[in-house]
Each structure stands twice: as C-alpha cells, then as structure tokens.
Structure 1
C-alpha cells in the first residue's frame, strides 16, 4: 500500500499508545507513539492507525500501521 488509506479521519485529542514491532532477530519491541488518525472512519472498526513518533526536538515520524499492532498506554 502506498500513501494514505481511504476513509481516514483525525483523532482528537491524540492518544498515547505503543506500537509492537518485530525485529529481524525475532525480538519484539514496543515503540511509544501517539495516534493521530484512523481508517476507515467510525463506525467501522479501525484497520489502520496513523501514529506519530517523536525523534527529537520538533522532529516527528509518521506511519500508517495495522491497528492490531497498537495498544493504548
């Protein structure tokens, strides 16, 4: 998939969460993020969540990830 998924809607206020990621070594790590958008829009269950990871002062990384990899903090 390239670009943004169809039917997205912003989430306000943003919600703190953790994204589960599997490393090539087989280890699973948790990455702290905030959830900023979801797709598809309610009332359908979210399949994709757009998350923002803070990389430093005023630097952020955004990614669409499968909803099942995201848990609330």
Structure 2
C-alpha cells in the first residue's frame, strides 16, 4: 500500500469533513438568529408581553422549537 496516497486521501477526507462541519455550524447559527427574530416579533420586540396592536391570540412557545420556513 502506498503511504503517500493513503495520507493524501486522509487529508482530503479531513478537509471535506471540516468544510461540512463549518457549513453546518453556519446553518445552525442562522437558524438561531431566525428563531430569535421570530420570538422578538411575536413579543412585540421588547421581550415582554405581546404588543397590544398585534391582534389575535398569541401562544407562547417557550421551550419549543420553531420550524418556520420562508
């Protein structure tokens, strides 16, 4: 077995896995930002009770995951 080709193959595989991990972390960060923005909108942007002008019934989603696709 050629040691050079084995080492090169391992380096390429490591590089690909690092790229995938970086992409995954960026996507998780974007998801957290989006969920924070939705929570701020639902709470009127103050972090407190819903804004009086929001209208309708707003259900608190504390502790639940929001999966909102735009």
Would you say same fold, with TM above 0.5?
A: no
Comparing both chains, which one has the higher relative contact order based on Cα–Cα distances under 8 Å and sequence gaps of 6 or more?
1
Tell me the TM-score normalised to structure 2 length: 0.20
Q: Which entry has the higher C-alpha Rg, 1 or 2?
A: 2
Is the strand fraction higher in 1 or 2? 1
